[in-house]
Structure 1
């Protein structure tokens, strides 16, 4: 497909990742608000996917680029859809079970799971730096999972949050692979198109009547999620996940702000002790991946017959 392989544009990737962090934090806040208003998780996910599908399809139709949604990799999209919809249940579930700041902090363990997945799936050799990052990150998790003075952080919620981070790491590998041949809009469109029918089957068991304010919350949640998904997919297209991960940590600022402004909750001291450890672990992974990437690039240039 023409234009499927994008040139690296690191500054654009960083900006897109910043938009992603803001939109994902806003979506998480709205998911939590919708939950307090009686909206069940399967219904939330259905509307999130359905509205995103309409947005992507409508946008491509208006731009006259529906042809960019064609794919020769239906099987890869189907696998991404299965993992993606499973991951959404854990991501949204963590937001509903945990305070926003804690749920966001646990999502920062994704790079540690990415290291472990690289070891298992690709047989990568993991050195002392990345092993240190893994242990440092999960030491931070042990601190965060200690109940604060309000006792709001429970073990079940922490486990759901960790599974969510694992699923995000796994899905990131799938998205990077799809980005080699597919446009970002095709990746998002097929994810929604394949999962909407599945969620529609469950909808009659969970749907209920809502007041206008709740529908506005659901609509805003879905739209913020759609923008976040498009920005995230494009950020992985224009830059390496290892080099743009630092921007993800701005989500904690938004989570704390929303938690205080919307839910009148200030994070406990344990979060401020554990979160820096998890962030440092993620930055260590990013730094090491960047160094390894540069080393491979230099080696390829030195051994190339064209040099």
Structure 2
């Protein structure tokens, strides 16, 4: 693999994390303007569809959207939409930096699921990294003593990471499908599901709030496409460390938009979680195993 392709892959991954971090900030901003969670989720998917269709039409063509794996896409979509509830819920319940930090536990959950669901052999070193990672979570969450991170919000944040890891496992079954096809079916199949609760939350907004909701979908769709592009250009172990740049963006957005900075315990615990995740990814590569960690939170 050429150095040029790897550098492009790293650049795309950094761009994807910027897009997804921006989307999280917009989700939180939409709530301050009166938008509900069902509204935010609906417009996230609806406004991402034109972005995905444009990408597919300019690339492999709309015929590539045909699939014989509809059951696989449906399973991925059902798990994905539940994961979106938790991911957006964490953003609404927690400061941005803390919500982002809990997303860094995805490699930890991927290791656990790989062992329990797929029967993968997991050695002492990776189980040790899992324990270290959860120690970092305890530092950030401060169960029983932290006011900056509410316990319910921490649980929702961890569930969001768990479902991202579940989606990564389900995507293994769809790895032969074009990336645009997978993203298209995720948006298309989840829209009817989200439309039901959205119907009970219909309300009027000013134009700025509508623009905010539309931007969530457009930016989120761009983030998904950038993630898939990065995966095609560079090895997962090369691009995954770029995900931790999300903490920088979350800190900047949290300060500029909401006047909130990460707590001292978040700065103490985040490096522990990050080190655990990096070790797990590195160990997977060393063992030559197929990666279970393929993307940042899909939202």
Would the TM-score normalized by the shorter structure come out above 0.5? yes
The one of 17, 20, 30 equivalent to 2:16 is: 20
The one of 14, 34, 42 equivalent to 1:38 is: 34
Deviation string, structure 1 residues 35-94 (Cα, Å, up to 9, x no partner): 111111111111111111122224434668111111111111111110111100000000
Whole-angstrom CA distance in 2 between matches of 1:294 and 1:173: 13
Deviation string, structure 1 residues 96-122 (Cα, Å, up to 9, x no partner): 000000000000000000100110122
Any stretches of 5+ residues in structure 1 without a counterpart? 1-8, 296-307
Residue 215 of structure 1 deviates from its aligned partner by 1.0
- Checking the alignment, whether the CA contact within 8 Å between 1:243 and 1:287 is kept in structure 2 is no
For residue 304 of structure 1, what is the aligned residue in structure 2? Answer: none
Matches within 5 A, 1:131-150: 131-146=127-142
Whole-angstrom CA distance in 1 between matches of 2:187 and 2:33: 25
Matches within 5 A, 1:145-160: 145-146=141-142, 151-160=147-156
Matched residue SS, 1:122: coil
Classify 1:37/1:284 alpha carbon distance in 2 versus 1 (closer, same or farther; 3 Å): same
Matched residue SS, 2:288: helix
For residue 291 of structure 1, what is the aligned residue in structure 2? Answer: 286
Larger Rg: 1
Classify 1:231/1:103 alpha carbon distance in 2 versus 1 (closer, same or farther; 3 Å): same
Whole-angstrom CA distance in 2 between matches of 1:54 and 1:185: 12
For residue 68 of structure 1, what is the aligned residue in structure 2? Answer: 64
Over the residues paired in the alignment, what is the CA RMSD in angstroms? Answer: 2.2
Classify 1:116/1:64 alpha carbon distance in 2 versus 1 (closer, same or farther; 3 Å): closer
Whole-angstrom CA distance in 2 between matches of 1:111 and 1:13: 20
Any stretches of 5+ residues in structure 2 without a counterpart? 291-299
- Checking the alignment, whether the CA contact within 8 Å between 1:249 and 1:279 is kept in structure 2 is yes
- Checking the alignment, whether the CA contact within 8 Å between 1:137 and 1:277 is kept in structure 2 is yes
Deviation string, structure 1 residues 129-155 (Cα, Å, up to 9, x no partner): 211110111000001012899923100
Matches within 5 A, 1:1-307: 9-61=5-57, 65-146=61-142, 151-179=147-175, 181-293=176-288
- Checking the alignment, whether the CA contact within 8 Å between 1:245 and 1:282 is kept in structure 2 is no
Q: TM (normalized to structure 2)?
A: 0.90
Moved over 3 A (4+): 9-12, 58-64, 147-150, 236-243
Classify 1:207/1:277 alpha carbon distance in 2 versus 1 (closer, same or farther; 3 Å): same
Q: TM (normalized to structure 1)?
A: 0.88
